[in-house]
Structure 1
Amino acid sequence: MASSSSRSPSRDAPAERSPGNDIDVEKAPSTTETVQPQPQPSTRRAFPETDLDRGIVGWDGQDDPTHPQNFPASRKWTLLALVSSVTFISPLASSMFSPALTSLSEDLDVTNQTLLSFSVSIFLLGYTFGPMLLAPLSEIYGRRIVLSCANWFFVVWQVGCALAPNLASLIIFRFLAGIGGCGCITLGAGVIADLFPVDKRGLATSIWSMGPLMGPVVGPIAGGFVGQSLGWRWVFWLLLIAGGVLSLGIECFNQETYAPVLIRRKTAKLAKELGRSDLRSAYDPEGRGVSPTKILKLGLKRPIVLLFKSPIVLFLATYMALVYGLLYLFFTTIPSVFENQYGFSPGLTGLAYLGIGLGFFSGLIITATTSDKVLLKLASRNGGKLEPEMRLPALVFSACLLPISFFWYGWSADKKVHWIVPIIGMIPFGVGMMGVYMPIQIYTIDCYPAYAASANAALTASRSLVGALLPLAGPKMFDTLGLGWGNSLLGFLALGFVPIAMLLTRYGKMIRERFPVDLDS
């Protein structure tokens, strides 16, 4: 027990509430963090430590091996890989069903194109509501148990989808599967904040983000061949098998990473062993003992508070939602364009998505290799102090890439240029979307490390709502305007957001500090 009774050198230093070694910018008007080799004050405490004389239970020193950020690198990356694997399967399910709509239409005798499209996009509505519940639950019971329950909820409803007797039941089952499927996407940001310090999150977030971006691309490729050869029901049987295997693997190897929950368990264990009822978690040093009901209410409120009280989060969430909606509008046109314009079979049509996929992969490599380096370079110019806005410069360049694809793809498809031309035209959109998605994602994690799951829930809910509903207007819009002018309209819309990206990059810090957000009341 000697290590458990270690004390901080200064009794006056308050215990940190952030679960990692980040300064929680929700509570500090100046959001900075010093980067090595900048000299650090010897009394600085990133992790709250145990002080049994004061009845405080925390970590056994800054090098405590049980703190998630002190885990061996192999364990950190294994945990991230587990979460990322399901983060790939879930978005895969969102679009894998799309190429099999023809098979579904013939089997269930459905001719309404809007309802058929809705059976695909309804999955994303589950992404809209699920994060609001799962994020606060993870802050009460921990990441592991909530992620596990969400994963199995997603897997179980694949059975319902595969056996659905009619379109109405399929839509309901898809919605429920979406609620479970959003667990990995909602909690992944929290796991990254738990495991990695701020200057290592760029690469980690890049790997984790492969799922939400690559899944919707790989889905139609696989779904096209499955739907053509085996029928639409086998899409869900394959998702059941893949999701079940990965969920079982997570059950075997995953572990808790949320620091307040770990210290809460440690406090209860020490209180029992030492017979002391006065012990309190360092993350709740006053022993307020907030009830789970109140925590849940606060958690449900946090994403809404962020969206409506933080202008910069609102702008970034809106921009991400727009880009995500444009991605799914792309998806609505690809089957008809390559089947009707170029005579592709349903299986070959899925391969047309490789254009966006190649763009995503290129953007991922660029972002993963440059994000943390750019952050550290900008920090060195700022006296070694990190600021979340240092993640945003790439946003402007990426925003300029997005409109290119709509003009290129739209007019080349409209004029029936060789099929390789519109496919190549999708690549800039893929690169640009990764360059938009990643900086916004890492920015919110850096800004709100203690509530990364809740902050990510705000982004996930808003973009999923737009991604679910906006594509429903796609068929009518393109029927009215045609492929050329319909895509040009989307290109002009994307172009209109470029100045906003510039303003946020230049004045983001000023806006954030002028409108601080209290997420604890």
Structure 2
Amino acid sequence: MSDTTSTVAVTHADSKHDNADRLQLERKMTQAVEEGHDADIPSSAGYVLDEEDRADHDIEKRQEAGPATSSDDENDPNIVWWDGDDDPENPYNWSATRKWLNTGCVSFQTFISPLASSIFAPGVPLVLQEFGSTSPQIATFVVSVYLIGFAAGPILLAPLSEIYGRVPVYHVCNVGFVAFSVACALAPSLNSLIAFRFLAGLFGVAPITNGGGTVADMIVQKHRGTVLAAYSVGPLLGPIIGPIGGGFLSNAKGWRWNFWLLAIISGFITVVMLFVMKESYAPVLLNRKVERLRKETGNLLLRSKLDVGLSPGDFFKRSAIRPVKMFIYSPIVSIMALYTALTYGYLYVQFTTMTEVFQNQYGFSTALVGLSFIGLGVGSFIGVVIYSGTSDRYISRKAAEADKLAEETGTEKMGMKPEYRLPLLPIGAVLIPIGLFLYGWTAEKKVHWIVPIIGTAFGGIGNS
């Protein structure tokens, strides 16, 4: 009898434990959807049907599917949401023209910002000559210090974009980038140039930090791969095209004109974005709708369905801490972050050495040395074409196969998974060391200059 009683007690305790775990998981899922990311969310969350009554398993499509809310919230008349599935204020329902204008502006600025990281690399010897320095470490640092700004900027800019919206962050950072590009062009010393380069990188990283979010705000998951591939052309080709043009410009007009050119082009797109860009972040749009309805109705109890109930300060703290926690506690995040840091570091090692290598080993002039970067550009372009041509079709096919299997086995449909984007990653991981080996070994042995350039092309494909 006592054994039976003990067994029942243990079973009851296990059941309570399972229920507690289930409730905790549901809370994580709800919080994750409200925050706009897919951590801890099964891909079936937010299951909706499109106009053809087919499953659209987009876990990020919270504007349509909505967060996991209680029945009280669903029936609460004070909860503000979109005015139906065809609400024109919902970024998913914008016209193709509006979506491409937003994406095009961000993509263009995403091209200019990485271009600034390397455009004056061929002119670094002229910089050192003007300021009387012979240090190879300074020559490398004056180029790469821009990336320290790139690393520091997202910690601040990403949370701000979730509090105030994407567009205000773009505008402020665009103005800052133009200002510090002008400051670099007028730098009176090497130390000031390094400082201005850092600040230019800090402001210039905004489109790279928030550009992917802008695309996700407007484009459904099944079409997102192609758009993201087009968007990613800028970060890939910008650092490559920069030295090509910068070599000729430095030779003709001096290294300072590289920064004047950046200020002119970025100033133009800044003005265009002021008139063209439209806010796309759903929580901010709904908060604006709430404020408008409060004024019109006088009902101060109205609140957005995506309002998590945090003050801007608390929201900023959580948004700033969340990436650190994900990096520490999520192995896939930490592995991907370290891998990206490693490959990006190798890329900029090439940027900072190719000028010296091709001038000293192969006798390239300041003007022609920029052409040595063509291999990286061609490789990056090939990689983008391959990815954009296969990713969306592959993810749709795998999702259909998974759903069919789920129907046959009577299990839950999982839909589109982020890992369906990864099949090409191992190929790129192999091509990068191959490219680095060809570049380094053949340049050291003074093999014909086309061979190390071909080696950089392999690296370009892998990096893309």
Picking from 28, 35, 43, the partner of 2:41 is 28
How far did 1:339 drift? 0.9
1:46 aligns with 2:76: no
Aligned pairs for 1:229-268 within 5 A:
229-268=252-291
Q: Aligned partners of 2:364, 2:118: CA distance in 1, in Å? A: 19
How far did 1:26 drift? 2.3
1:139 aligns with 2:162: yes
Picking from 445, 448, 452, the partner of 1:415 is 445
Which residue in the other structure is 1:199 paired with? 222
Unpaired runs of 5+ in structure 2? 1-26, 57-61, 405-414
Change in 2 beyond 3 A, CA 1:195/1:110: same
Code of the residue aligned with 2:177 in structure 1: it is F
Q: CA RMSD in A?
A: 2.5
Which residue in the other structure is 1:104 paired with? 127
Code of the residue aligned with 2:41 in structure 1: it is A
Which residue in the other structure is 2:315 paired with? 295
Aligned pairs for 1:136-285 within 5 A:
136-284=159-307
Change in 2 beyond 3 A, CA 1:165/1:419: same
Alpha carbons 1:16, 1:46 under 8 Å: kept = no
Aligned to 2:133, the other structure's residue is in SS state coil
How far did 1:407 drift? 2.2
How far did 1:222 drift? 1.1
Alpha carbons 1:103, 1:228 under 8 Å: kept = no
Which residue in the other structure is 2:15 paired with? none
Code of the residue aligned with 2:369 in structure 1: it is T
Count, aligned residues? 415
Picking from 365, 370, 390, the partner of 2:390 is 370
Change in 2 beyond 3 A, CA 1:278/1:32: closer
Which residue in the other structure is 1:306 paired with? 326
Which residue in the other structure is 2:5 paired with? none
Unpaired runs of 5+ in structure 1? 1-13, 435-521
Tell me the alpha carbon deviations over residues 363-395 of structure 1, each in whole angstroms, 9 at most, x when there is no partner.
Answer: 111111111111011111101611111111111
Aligned to 1:290, the other structure's residue is in SS state coil
How far did 1:31 drift? 6.1
How far did 1:412 drift? 2.0
Which residue in the other structure is 1:491 paired with? none
How far did 1:28 drift? 2.3
Q: Which has the higher contact order (CA 8 A, sep 6+)?
A: 1
Among all aligned residue pairs of Structure 1 and Structure 2, give the percentage whose two residues are the same amino acid: 46
Change in 2 beyond 3 A, CA 1:144/1:19: farther
How far did 1:410 drift? 2.2
Aligned to 2:205, the other structure's residue is in SS state helix
Which residue in the other structure is 1:509 paired with? none
Which residue in the other structure is 1:387 paired with? 417
Tell me the alpha carbon deviations over residues 282-336 of structure 1, each in whole angstroms, 9 at most, x when there is no partner.
Answer: 112xxx6411111111121122112111110000111111111111111222112
Picking from 326, 330, 333, the partner of 2:353 is 333
Q: TM-score, normalised by structure 1?
A: 0.75
Alpha carbons 1:16, 1:283 under 8 Å: kept = no
Which residue in the other structure is 2:17 paired with? none
How far did 1:110 drift? 1.4
Which residue in the other structure is 1:425 paired with? 455
Q: Which has the larger radius of gyration?
A: 2
Tell me the alpha carbon deviations over residues 264-286 of structure 1, each in whole angstroms, 9 at most, x when there is no partner.
Answer: 000111111011111111112xx
How far did 1:115 drift? 1.4
Tell me the alpha carbon deviations over residues 99-150 of structure 1, each in whole angstroms, 9 at most, x when there is no partner.
Answer: 1111111211111121121111111100111110000001110000011101
Which residue in the other structure is 1:361 paired with? 381
Q: TM-score, normalised by structure 2?
A: 0.84
Code of the residue aligned with 1:267 in structure 2: it is V
Aligned pairs for 1:332-351 within 5 A:
332-351=352-371
Which residue in the other structure is 1:59 paired with? 82
Q: Aligned partners of 2:267, 2:36: CA distance in 1, in Å? A: 38
Q: Does 311-320 or 324-333 show the bigger shift? A: 324-333
Picking from 96, 99, 109, the partner of 1:73 is 96
Which residue in the other structure is 1:93 paired with? 116
Q: Aligned partners of 1:364, 1:33: CA distance in 2, in Å? A: 31
Q: Aligned partners of 2:175, 2:431: CA distance in 1, in Å? A: 38
Alpha carbons 2:32, 2:38 under 8 Å: kept = no
How far did 1:212 drift? 1.3
Q: Aligned partners of 2:261, 2:452: CA distance in 1, in Å? A: 30
How far did 1:168 drift? 0.7
Q: Aligned partners of 1:92, 1:24: CA distance in 2, in Å? A: 29
Aligned pairs for 1:431-446 within 5 A:
431-434=461-464
Q: Aligned partners of 2:423, 2:117: CA distance in 1, in Å? A: 31
Q: Does 355-364 or 391-400 show the bigger shift? A: 391-400
Aligned to 2:65, the other structure's residue is in SS state coil
Q: Does 241-250 or 298-307 show the bigger shift? A: 298-307
Q: Aligned partners of 1:300, 1:318: CA distance in 2, in Å? A: 19
Alpha carbons 1:93, 1:239 under 8 Å: kept = yes
Aligned to 1:386, the other structure's residue is in SS state coil
How far did 1:409 drift? 2.0
